[in-house]
Amino acid sequence: MYRILAAFGLTFIVLSLSCGDVEDQYSHIDKLATIAILEDSRSMGTGELLNFLSDPDPEIRMRSVQALGRMGIESTTADIATLMTDSVESVRLETAFALGQIGGTEAMLAITLNIEDETSIDVRCSMIEALGKIGDPVAVATVLHYFDDPNPRIRRSAAFAMSRIPEHNQTDALVELSRDDSEEVRWMAVFAMFRTGDSEAFGRLRWCLKDSSTLVRQFAARAIGALGDSSGLDQLTERLRREESDLVKINLIRSIADIGDRKALKSLLNVLSDDNSIHLKAEAITAIGKLKLTLAMSKLKPYLADENRTIRGAAMVTAAQIDPAFFMQNVEGFLGEADSYIKLRLIEGLSSIDTSASIDLIAELFKDREGVVRREALSAMRNFKDVDLQPYLANGLDDRDFTVAITAISMIVERKDSNYVGAVARVFSQHSADRNPDLRLTVVQEFGKWVDSLSPDPAMVEVFNRALGDVDYRVREAAINAYMKIGIDHTSSLGEYASKINRQTYNDIFSRYASNPKAVIETNRGTIEIELLYDIAPKTVSNFADLAESGFFDNRIWHRVIPGFVIQDGCPRGDGWGGPGYSIRSEWNRKEYERGTVGMAHSGKDTGGSQFFISHTALPHLDGRYTVFGQVTSGMRVVDRVEVGDSIRAIQIVAPHESN
């Protein structure tokens, strides 16, 4: 736990202690506060963090190594590695995790040199998983050694590690591990086969479709689809007919679409005719479109008028893909929809029809009052060969919605049209005082991709120069990276994040709760209850609680729903491009993504703010990459039913009862 003080606060406790106790207690708290401030500012300070690695207090050592791991500074690896032999297990756990997060050859060697002497199963698992995250093929032999370990937790960690190591050529070993007595080992082995994509696993994967474990069947289905071998179609369709789990069915349908065999039509139509969920029916309709199954058009037509917009939207896109003539004949009826979600699906459908009529309709949608519609209409223009983009790009740069301008900039850089360099540079200047740095960041990042290292454009260099002094850390970092491309080192201009933590606010954040609080999310579909994991992500939980208690989440929509993956909310714009007006630091931790895990959405390290997601299933590829800060304890059936456009009515934070 990060809770250091009782709820009475620092002042009361300090005044209640004897003089000697005050000095000891304050010293401990002051060190923890210093670590928190340095971690939040992503700063090494004047050597304090490295000094704390040798502190006599194990909590100080643990927190300092945790902070360094989150900062990810490779030059600290040797110092961190000294704690791999620490006498306290919790310190070694965080050390192994930190080395995996930082990566590099030195981290790999530190783990491999100490792993055999490690006596704790938890720590050894963390060390094996860290080797996978580092991803160096040199570690394959070490990881493979643990495939035969008598402890199933060790074998599971070894399978996870192999999922992260590229070109390991150990498919035979994974196949054998997929026959393990432990369900946890089997599904992780199949997940590893899915991630590595070796066709040698195909025969075994077909057998895994019959496994008693939902997770094994789920990942086996996706792996077969990813391999694209049509000889697996019969097993997929037969499994779809018998399968009871919606999570497995979703993956079976997607894999059938990936294989691309028209013989699957009957199986997909059965999904539509049976009493299946909205998500399954929409997935089947989408698969019919991907397979270009024109024979299904007569069955599809009723869904174009379905009262459910998820179904209706999927049917529109599929109709455009399999019968463009019919779609264009009926497009006027679709244009009458006021719902921006349906307009986005309409744009998606029109994008697959390369005719002047479809281009004209997208051009009309580029005039829509909703920025999200204008943005997607502009982006859709990429799909057409014979379109003069000049007027659309020019208008896009001047659009009042910053996401439209960002899209225009990325399209200009894709085309490398030097006529627009000055116009894009002016966008940076015009938005130099914006509180939201996204436009400035995009200009610098896109110019960084485009700049000629031998003959850099002066206008681009001027933008880089101005960006070095930007108030936003990410903009400065992007400018430094761009300068590196042209051979100039401005690393000294990076500076630090402006920390949101100080000695006064430290106690408010880190002693806010005596134990993990609860979030009760009221949605239009029902109630979801979440244990907020304050013990492992105190800053993220505190930020979430502040937003919830201020009403920030009230009436927000679930803007992103990917069945079998996640549902996502917390965007004030409702399109995934918004936030609270600030960002918080990533609190990457050892908690794994399983069904119902709550994570912080971001567009890169330290860019989270208010958007969060709930996982439908285990997502090992997200472990250590997105901050985990909660776990659903009740209401997963509600999570499974949520559709795009459903809403959060309110979120109530229920604090734990303090004991007297």
List b or e across 465-494, with b for residues whose CB sees 16 or more CB atoms inside 10 angstroms. Answer: ebbbebebbbbbbbbbebbebbeeebeebe
Q: How confident is the model at residue 19 (pLDDT cuts 50, 70, 90)?
A: very low
The per-residue pLDDT for 500 is: 85
Measured distance CA(611)–CA(37) in Å, rounded: 23
CA nearest neighbour of 475 among 373, 391, 576, 583: 583
pLDDT digits (tens, 9 = 90+) for 270-280: 999 878 999 99
As given in the structure block, the two tokens for residue 71 are 């900062």
What is the H or E stretch that residue 36 is in? helix 19-41
Three-state secondary structure readout of 375-413? HHHHHHHHHCCCCCCHHHHHHHHCCCCHHHHHHHHHHHH
Per-residue pLDDT, averaged over 487-512, amounts to 91
The per-residue pLDDT for 24 is: 52
The per-residue pLDDT for 15 is: 30
**152 backbone dihedrals φ, ψ, rounded to 5°:** -65, -25
pLDDT digits (tens, 9 = 90+) for 198-216: 999 999 999 999 999 999 9
Residues 6+ apart with CB under 8 A from 202: 224, 227, 229, 232
Question: Model's pTM, two decimal places?
Answer: 0.93
User: What is the residue-averaged pLDDT of the chain?
Assistant: 93
- The DSSP string of 536-584 is T-HHHHHHHHHHHHTTTTTTEE--EEETTTEEEE--TTSSS---SSS-B
The per-residue pLDDT for 166 is: 85
pLDDT at 449 over 80: yes
Give me the sign of the Cα torsion angle 641, 646, 649, 653. positive
Sheet arrangement for strand 556-557 = 556-557, 647-654, 518-523, 526-532, 628-634, 597-600, 612-615, 566-569, 560-562
Treating both helix axes as pointing N-terminal to C-terminal, what angle do 473-485 and 458-467 enclose, rounded to 10 degrees?
A: 140
As given in the structure block, the two tokens for residue 325 are 């003539």
pLDDT at 4 over 90: no
What is the share, in percent, of the chain residues with pLDDT greater than 90? 88
Measured distance CA(368)–CA(170) in Å, rounded: 53
Is the Cβ–Cβ distance between 184 and 594 less than 8 Å?
no
pLDDT at 298 over 50: yes
Measured distance CA(149)–CA(160) in Å, rounded: 14
pLDDT at 17 over 80: no
The per-residue pLDDT for 453 is: 85
The per-residue pLDDT for 230 is: 93
CA nearest neighbour of 70 among 47, 49, 89: 49
As given in the structure block, the two tokens for residue 271 are 């999904």
Residues 6+ apart with CB under 8 A from 415: 389
The per-residue pLDDT for 275 is: 85
CA nearest neighbour of 472 among 640, 615, 607, 654: 607
Residues 6+ apart with CB under 8 A from 140: 162, 165, 168, 169, 170
> Which of 44-48, 52-56, 340-344, 495-499 is predicted least confidently?
495-499
Per-residue pLDDT, averaged over 547-556, amounts to 98
> Which of 7-21, 121-135, 383-397, 595-609 is predicted least confidently?
7-21
As given in the structure block, the two tokens for residue 380 are 């859709």
Is the Cβ–Cβ distance between 418 and 388 less than 8 Å?
no
CA nearest neighbour of 642 among 528, 558, 564, 573: 558
Task: Give CA torsion, residues 433, 439, 440, 444, to 10 deg.
Answer: -170
Beta pairing, strands 647-654 & 518-523: antiparallel
The per-residue pLDDT for 333 is: 85
Measured distance CA(151)–CA(363) in Å, rounded: 61
The per-residue pLDDT for 212 is: 98
